[in-house]
Amino acid sequence: MSGNIQLLSDALAAARAEDRSALIAYLPAGFPTVDGGIEAAKAVFDGGADIVEIGLPHSDPVLDGPVIQTADDIALRGGVKIADVLRTVREAHAATGKPVLVMTYWNPVDRYGVARFAAELAEAGGAGCILPDLPVQESATWRAHAAKHGLATVFVVAPSSKDARLAEITAAGSGFVYAASLMGVTGTRASVGAEAQDLVRRTKATTGLPVCVGLGVSNAEQAAEVARFADGVIVGSAFVKRLLAADGDLAAGLAGVRALAGELAEGVRKRS
């Protein structure tokens, strides 16, 4: 079965046709529980997200800040497995018909088996993978399996990336490019910063792929700011905070993430 890279591309193109950025939400699988995480993914789609990234909880994160690390710890202590991540993708996509990616560090994929992971992600209806710590020069095996199964390979670029390196990364990627708005880890911040706009400009000079910005966006005003220059606005920690704040009350948590998605969806439509 082929994955849904085309559905991902179509979602980004549809947003562009509406003269807006796409809203991309991140949620870790298994948090607050596996079933709760599935319902949270459905809720953010219901609130207005165009695309959802499902995080594969990892014990040694390099990109995730304290909020997502807290959620990952809860998921891991709850016994979340890769099968649960794939189930989350499958059920979120099946319920909505919208593109769902997995965001994961490389080690779990390598240990699980590259061919097996790609095949099972495609079978679940996944649109692709975001791989923040897989070096482009070591990615050929994954990219071959991803292409075979119709999955996007999304790489992360940072403000420190030189122009030549940006060109190397974007040439290898597919789906979209994940532009980290700043040097550091995920988390909500008071402002996104001018570095993000410069990074998007430099990245777009190397590729025709959409460039989506993550790290630091937490409210509608920031989403509108980033939407003025990016093809997509990625929000993670702010959603996780809403679920954490619910303190075990799943209904309240789902209402919180649905409402936040609605606010952010309005934000990405105020780019002009």
Active site residues: 53, 64
Residues 68 and 216 sit within 8 Å (Cβ to Cβ)? no
- Most distant pair of Cα atoms in the chain: their distance: 48
d(CA 93, CA 13): 19
Looking at this protein, which amino acid is placed at residue 2?
S
Q: Would you state the structure tokens that stand for residue 141, as one six-digit string? A: 């095996």
Alpha-helix residue ranges (DSSP H) falling in 124-219: 140-148, 163-172, 194-204
CB contact set of 172 (below 8 Å; sequence gap of 6+): 136, 139, 143, 153, 155
Span between the terminal Cα atoms of the chain, in Å: 40
d(CA 95, CA 45): 10
Burial classification of residue 68, based on how many CB atoms lie within 10 Å of its CB (0-12 exposed, 13-18 middle, 19 or more buried): buried
